[in-house]
A and B are shown apart, each in its own frame.
Chain A
Amino acid sequence: MTTTNATTIPPATPSSGRTRGGVARGLLPPAVTGQEWVLIGVLAILWVVLSLTTPAFASSGSIQPLLSAVAPIALMGVGMTMIIITGGIDISVAGVLMVTGVTSAKMLVDHDASLLVAVLVSVALGGLLGLVNGLLIAYGRVHAIIITFGTANLFQFVGRQIFASKTVNGIPSTLDVFGRGEAGRTLGVPHSFVLMAVVVAIAWWYLRHVQHGRHLFAIGGDPVAARLAGVNVERRVLMTYVLTGLLVGMAAVFIVASGTSTLDQSIGSGRELAVIAAVVIGGTSITGGRGSVLGTVFGALLVQTVASGVTQLGWPSELSDLFVGVAIAIAVGADLIRKWARERA
């Protein structure tokens, strides 16, 4: 038998920058997974059907609000996807949204803050609240769902304190660049959607090609083995919550910008579940170890398309949640069936 006669592992052939991009494509599982193709297909069918049945659907007056509505959910979904990939969850998103939203609105109204300051304050504050979650979860070693149930209450308290039991009125148009109006679009595409797309692209790259991003999957798959392999589990987990906080802070800006000049206390309500729904429909496994931000974007798009479609068809808007529920059940059910099939085989 002839074998390599090396005493250690042979050195790698140096990678060449020229071919990197092309070759690297084959080295990882496909960029778009089966579930994402299904979602793309479903979205395409929905869009075609809706365009044919309701002429208004395909109009820019319908598509633009849809994209504006998708942006904050998908943006928060990016962070939530990473958290869920590590096996965690964040129920406190609504609370963070409330605190950051009302703070930036107040900054605009009371202190006449500039766009940059309002965005920075909102994002930084979101990151801080995410840090609170992250520290408690990573180092307190309590299940994420319980901790974030608790911090959800705390953050809502903080948010309402800042609201001081009132609505914030007379929000100036400083944030219009992220709003629904003409100022919020370039070539017809909402800026918020573009920014979201950029963040998604970076996150997609991070989760696919960056060492720390890959470690998130390992943590969700088997945290003990990941620690043994030298992954700094606590730090990675902490970072996912901080990142989610930052992104929620940005999403809050989008939501304030696309609302009226009045902000009330319902800014966050129910959004935590909407974000989780988008992530889950997108094929991220709630038990951790598998998921993609691309799927989350499609999930958010599907939810908003259904909502928009229901309105366009003249059905009661409340009906859209029924379809969301069914979509979650089908998306996860299909995944479970695939798993059974694989185990049987």
Chain B
Amino acid sequence: MSIPDSVPTTPDPVDLPDSGTARLHLQGISKRYGGVRAIKKADITVRPGTVHAIVGENGAGKSTLIKIISGAESADTGEIFFEGAPITLSSAIDAMAFGIQTVYQEPQLFAELTVSENIFIGREITSGTRVDWLAQNAKVIELLTMLGLPASYATKTVGSLSIAQQQQVSIAKALAGNAKILILDEPSAILTDSEIDVLFNIVRRLTKTGVSVIYISHRLDELFKLCQEVTVMRDGETLGTWPIQDLSIRRVIELMVGEALVEARTERTFPEGDPRLALEGLTLEGQFHDVNVSVRPGEVVGLYGLVGSGVAEIAEAVYGMRRPTGGRILLDGTVVEPRSPRAAQSLGIGMLPADRKAQGMFSFQPIAFNISIGHLSLLSKARTWIDRRQESIVARQMISRLSIKTPSERQPVAAMSGGNAQKVVLARETVERPPVLILAEPTHGVDVGAKDEIHRIVGELAHEGTAVLVVTSDVAEAIRICDRLYVIRAGTTTVEFGPDAKQADVLAAASGDDSDLSAHVREVS
């Protein structure tokens, strides 16, 4: 099946049930952050006892919508009805009072307290001032039993549980607050397959008790196992809600992608020759296995995978942040074993980290500092004294080359927009033109204009001979800038796409639906 140029004939969205019978109904919601409209117009109706999926590409507005429902952000316009009555949600505590509970990816639990205490923190069952452990534990055990979890959890400290178990505890905690709507924000991203099955069983049990579950996931195959209704978002708008029977993975993808994606790519010659960077059967137990990737000089190669697929860990292993347990990394045909970012850099591997604020920025330091800190031996005399003149020159060069908008190189990066700050971090990684450059989520949290410019810069870098490996969860970006694209699923390279990859194919491959891949797709052996 080929990809049509317009949205295919998908059945019309289901009629919205009368808002009186809905558990939650949002109408005409919009939200703007500074100059960016995160949500233009969103309508959604969640019925009792259903699992309702919200899907959309990165930046489609899912997370903003979730923040509005959970009270973390308030909408600029629009109305929210809870069981038919209009409500305002100005804080997470407001939302909780209505029984709207959110389980975030990172469990917000107290490691030193027991599961039972975590579930009842802030609303303990007490007799007098004393916590009634018996009553509390009895309730917790019933709750755990209802979720199909072992009762022995109750008295364990959360710190002694696995991440998956902690997530189950988070769900139990949300339920103990008499949840009527449970929001699960990409819960499967951090779980293994068997853990996901446990999660699904829990969710199914829950809906039988009348709880509505709002389920966010990038793994579209999951929707068909779990959800009854799907709301699709694109570019800050909700396209509509469909019953799951009316959809297929491919249809969901087509709705998410829309018609916007057919971008003209001009013909180009692809670099030939031996790869500069090659990963052969690279394995890190528990994270990824048998990863085969090659990048030639002048080539932009993408690694696309969903959160939790192991794609981020692969990049970190190449950059020396993680120690692979098997396989080889070859640089110009020579086996290398970078043991630290320092070692990786001296081998000529640079990396733009995925989490700009936590891993990339020295926020209250000036731009020049942020750039020169990666090149202290280059920008110093006798490796001891900072060559401040040279530092300024380099900083100014990078500012103009990357079109960083700032009055001076002495400005701290803390005050800059996401796009500009990202360019500063990118500038740091490109000063010495490393032969291999890994870019992790290069345009995450970056506005459209800066995104275009960063893509232009990546193209220029490749043009000048750098082997660029782009690790991204933004499929549009992957297709746009990559000459070749590897899809990572379940911790390994599954398929490889050429330059004319279609977004829907890539998404399908990453979500586990590779039944009808287009002809140009090669299986990676």
Contact = CB atoms under 8 A, between A and B. Distances in A.
Interface of A: 1, 3-16, 19-20, 23-24, 26-29, 209-212, 214-215, 217-218, 221-222, 225-226, 228-231, 289-290
A20 B138 CA distance: 12
A27 B116 contact: yes
Give the top 7 A-B pairs by smallest Cβ distance, nearest first.
A230-B122, A229-B122, A15-B134, A221-B110, A12-B139, A15-B135, A27-B133
A266 B136 CA distance: 50
Contacts of A15: 127, 132, 134-135, 138
Interface in B76-125: 92-93, 108-114, 116-117, 121-125
B142 A10 contact: yes
B333 interface: no
A228 B108 contact: yes
Contact of A1 (B112, B129, B204, B209): B204
B209 A6 contact: yes
Q: Which of B131, B205, B210 has the most CB of A within 10 A?
A: B131
B129 A231 contact: no
A189 B122 CA distance: 41
A108 B486 CA distance: 83
A221 B113 CA distance: 9
B283 interface: no
A209 B132 CA distance: 8
B110 A218 contact: yes
Interface residues of B, number: 45
Contacts of A28: 114, 133, 155
B108 A222 contact: yes
Contacts of A16: 134
B208 interface: yes
A289 B178 contact: no
B487 to A, nearest CB: 32
B278 interface: no
A183 to B, nearest CB: 36
A222 B110 CA distance: 7
Contacts of A5: 208-209
B159 to A, nearest CB: 8
B142 A12 contact: yes
A211 B125 CA distance: 9
Interface in B248-270: none
Nearest to A29: B157
B472 interface: no
Contact of B123 (A13, A226, A230, A289): A230
Given A26-B155, A27-B154, A28-B114, A211 B131 contact: yes
Contacts of B130: 209-211
A29 B114 CA distance: 7
Contacts of A10: 139, 142, 146
Nearest to B206: A3
Contact of B113 (A9, A14, A214, A230): A214
Interface of B: 92-93, 108-114, 116-117, 121-127, 129-139, 142-143, 145-146, 154-155, 157, 175-176, 178, 201, 204-205, 208-210
Contacts of A218: 110, 113, 121-122
Contacts of A7: 209-210
B146 A225 contact: no
A29 B159 CA distance: 12
B208 A289 contact: no
Nearest to A206: B129
Nearest to B146: A4
A3 B205 contact: yes
Given A1-B205, A28-B133, A218-B121, A12 B138 contact: yes
Contacts of A13: 135, 138
A214 B146 contact: no
Given A4-B209, A27-B116, A9 B139 contact: yes
A26 B156 CA distance: 10
Contacts of B125: 12
B134 A27 contact: yes
Contacts of A217: 110, 112-113
A24 B134 contact: yes
18 contacts: A5-B209, A9-B139, A12-B125, A13-B138, A15-B138, A29-B114, A209-B130, A210-B129, A210-B130, A211-B124, A211-B129, A214-B131, A218-B122, A222-B108, A225-B108, A229-B123, A230-B93, A230-B123
A228 B134 contact: no
Given A225-B108, A228-B93, A6 B146 contact: yes
A243 to B, nearest CB: 15
A228 B175 CA distance: 16
A20 B134 contact: yes
A226 B121 contact: yes
Contacts of B209: 3-8
Given A6-B209, A23-B134, 19 more contacts: A3-B205, A4-B209, A8-B178, A9-B146, A9-B175, A10-B139, A12-B136, A15-B138, A24-B133, A28-B155, A210-B131, A211-B126, A211-B129, A211-B131, A215-B121, A217-B113, A221-B110, A221-B111, A231-B121
Given A8-B178, A28-B155, A221 B112 contact: yes
Nearest to B110: A221
Contacts of A8: 178, 209
A212 B129 CA distance: 8
Nearest to A20: B134
A314 B13 CA distance: 90
B137 to A, nearest CB: 5
Nearest to B92: A228
Contacts of B93: 228, 230
Contacts of A228: 92-93, 108
A13 B124 CA distance: 15
Nearest to A7: B210
A214 B112 contact: no
A14 to B, nearest CB: 7
Pick the most buried of B93, B127, B142: most chain A CB atoms within 10 A of its CB.
Answer: B142
B137 A27 contact: yes
Contacts of B126: 211
A7 B207 CA distance: 9
Nearest to B175: A9
A225 B116 contact: no
A217 B117 CA distance: 11
Nearest to A232: B122
A10 B175 CA distance: 11
Given A6-B146, A15-B132, A214-B131, A231 B114 contact: no
B98 to A, nearest CB: 14
A225 B121 CA distance: 10
Nearest to A8: B178
Contacts of A26: 155
